Chains A and B, each alone.
Chain A
Amino acid sequence: MNYTLTRDVLDAFYKAYATREIDKIAPFIHDDIEWTISGPVDYLPFCGTHSGKVAVMDMIENKVKAVLRTFSFVPESIVIDGDRVAMLSRQSARRTKDGVTISYRVANVMRFKDDKVIENFSLIDSYDAVEQVLGQPLAAGNGARAGSGEFVTV
């Protein structure tokens, strides 16, 4: 019989995940998890694919926190269907290096098995996230613009 994710399990996971406290999140992470965050690894070192519970816990506890400290994770849309869920959230954090507040949207597309996350794909507005994490506009925004054959100053 196929596993079906319930709203209660998701709510419990979301509440734990929003805290970013490893002890609360760990029970919801499957040993065989694959967790991918889409984004430029050169600028956001926590992006990329993390395989296995140990690697995912390390990513949440260390790699992300080296860059930012999340203090708010608010759902805007949640779509559950079978063993999967897509969540659109607003993530607010403080930059670890200087405490400046940043905020961006993140989509999590997850698959659960036995009430645990076994697959996650996170999609963020990565251009916005990189600018906020670095605290400065990126070079592409400096006069470059996608146009019909030419780059134009804006």
Chain B
Amino acid sequence: MAMPVARAVVEGFYKVLANSDFAALAPYLADDVVWTISGPVDVLPFCGPRRGKDLVLKLLARDIPVFLAKRSLVPTITLIDGDRAAVFGKLTASRGDINRVISYRICQFVRFENNKVVEYLSLIDSFDAVEQVLGKQITAPGGVCAGDGELVAV
């Protein structure tokens, strides 16, 4: 049976993650951690899976800040159950190049082993995130939307 994670560990992990304190974050990560941000990799290159502590730290400390600076995670709901935790909240950041503030909802599912993160999966409202990060409205070719069995002009 999996060892339950202590609430203090989850809270400690999220405190350093929310503050982007990556030196303090490192001890919370298992060496073989798998860190996945769900989203379109071709548009948001920081999406997709990263395997291993070094790649995850590089992602968080170097790769993501190229696109999103001054990241701040504000959890609104934190749930802990056995070896798992889930956090629902809002991520706020600024686009590094033009200093525009963006904000989108995020839900994270984390699994711990021996009080270290071994799996992290983040779901984001990726359509909203892409529009904000690119700074433009997404349009489907032909201006279509999903409707009652038909595609209709919008």
Which residues of A are at the interface with B, using a C-beta cutoff of 8 A?
38-40, 42-45, 66-67, 76-82, 84-86, 88, 96-97, 105-107, 109, 121, 123-130, 133-134, 136-141, 144-151, 154
Contacts and interface: CB of A to CB of B under 8 A. Distances in A.
B62 to A, nearest CB: 12
B107 interface: yes
Nearest to A150: B97
Contacts of B149: 66, 96-97
B7 to A, nearest CB: 10
B43 A144 contact: yes
Nearest to B85: A79
A109 B88 contact: yes
Interface stretch (B17-25, B26-34, B49-57, B136-144): B136-144
Contact of B40 (A123, A124, A127): A127
Nearest to B127: A126
Greatest chain A CB density within 10 A among B123, B124, B129 is at: B123
Given A42-B145, A109-B88, A146 B128 contact: no
Given A42-B145, A136-B140, A86 B86 contact: yes
A81 B67 contact: no
Given A80-B81, A138-B141, A146-B43, 8 more contacts: A86-B86, A107-B107, A123-B105, A123-B125, A124-B125, A125-B39, A146-B44, A150-B97
B79 A86 contact: yes
A105 B131 CA distance: 20
B84 interface: yes
30 contacts: A38-B128, A39-B125, A43-B127, A43-B140, A43-B146, A66-B147, A78-B84, A79-B80, A79-B86, A86-B79, A88-B109, A88-B123, A97-B150, A105-B38, A107-B123, A109-B86, A123-B105, A123-B106, A123-B107, A123-B125, A125-B124, A127-B43, A128-B126, A134-B151, A136-B141, A138-B138, A139-B140, A140-B136, A141-B42, A145-B45
B121 interface: yes
B109 A107 contact: yes
A149 B78 CA distance: 34
Contacts of B84: 77-79
A149 B45 contact: no
